[in-house]
Amino acid sequence: MPKVDRRIAKTQEAIKKSILELMNEKDFDNITIQDISDRANVNRSTVYLHYLDKYDLLEKMVEEHINQLKETDEWACQEEWIDATQIFFEYFEKHFLFFSTMLASKGAAPSFRSKFLEYVMDGFKDELQKTNGKSEGLSDDVVVKFAANAYVGVLESWLKDGMPSPPKTIARELGILLERIL
């Protein structure tokens, strides 16, 4: 991957941070491109250089994270549940502003929750198929839905509460529980 120009990286980071902060302050509908560029400390036209509009911006942010998470799946699935969960919670911690805004704020887009839940379910499903799981006789579908909803729910409260415990701790607890299910 040809590494991106530093200016592009900085500009896009500033813009992304900007819209997330604004989403915590006002309704998404009322956020203007001007708001975003002001907060990001870039020219308004610069925003258009990278994104079509605020919806495109948010979409691209979501896609990037989902893709990044899927890539992480590739090697994290080698680990035990506890360790793999820790890897992901460190990712959530690193991108706390994004995940807390998207999953655990008033402006939280329900569409992202669905998409994220879908992603988690896909990951669990693959894992079940590989390892054959602990629950013979139970429908994979139910097991996966059970685990994924639990996972997302725990993540949501962890974010809402401002990450009261470090990723390692919450991941151990969640990992132990997942191990009993999957």
In terms of CB distance, is 33 or 154 closer to DNA?
33
CB contact at 8 A, 66 and 115: yes
Which one of DNA, its own copies, none interacts with residue 136, CB within 5 to 8 A by kind?
none
Minimum Å gap between C-beta 10 and its own copies is 6
**Would you mind telling me the total number of residues written for the chain in this entry?**
182
Question: Which residues would be at the binding site for DNA (CB under 7 A)?
Answer: 3-8, 10-11, 32-34, 41-46, 48-50, 52-54
Minimum Å gap between C-beta 37 and its own copies is 10
Pair of tokens at residue 75: 């090697």
Which one of its own copies, DNA, none interacts with residue 49, CB within 5 to 8 A by kind?
DNA
Minimum Å gap between C-beta 38 and its own copies is 11
Minimum Å gap between C-beta 111 and DNA is 20
In terms of CB distance, is 26 or 134 closer to DNA?
26
In terms of CB distance, is 51 or 124 closer to DNA?
51
In terms of CB distance, is 55 or 75 closer to DNA?
55
CA pair distance 77, 61, nearest whole angstrom: 24
CA-wise closest residue to 146 among 102, 177, 113, 110: 177
Alpha helices in the chain (DSSP H): 6-23, 33-40, 44-50, 54-76, 81-94, 96-103, 110-131, 140-160, 167-181
CA pair distance 116, 131, nearest whole angstrom: 23
